[in-house]
Amino acid sequence: MHIPPSGTTQYVKHMWVAHIDNQCVGYIHFLLEPEKRIKFMDAWVHKNHRRKSIFRKLWDTRWNFVQQYYKGYKAYAWCKPMSLPLLIEKGFKEGDNCVYVEKIV
């Protein structure tokens, strides 16, 4: 299921939801940014529904949508190591690595 942006121009975000029996079992997003850039954002699949190709179907649905409606835009993503092979498969180039850090202030 595609959830289009709300109509505001300040924050243009597209979302797709995978559902089974009216329950959300996964989602994926992208954010439209200035200068013809698209940020691929978080994706999630419920732990009871992983390893069933839901992530791949969501990813491919988003990718097909972007290819159809946003030709000429630059798409980019920050991804976890387990998602990297799919991005490489789709022609993305690997950039520098970054490391998550946190601190309670």
Per-residue pLDDT of the chain (105 residues; tens, 9 = 90+): 888 887 776 778 899 999 999 999 999 999 999 999 999 998 999 999 999 999 999 999 999 999 999 999 999 998 888 888 999 999 999 988 888 787 778
Q: Which amino acid is at 63?
A: W
pTM of the model: 0.83
C-alpha span between 18 and 2 (Å, rounded): 9
Closest alpha carbon to 82 in 51, 48, 38, 46: 51
Tokens read off for 58: 């969501």
Residue 17: what pLDDT? 97
Strands (E), the chain: 2-3, 12-20, 23-33, 37-45, 74-77
Residue 44: what pLDDT? 92
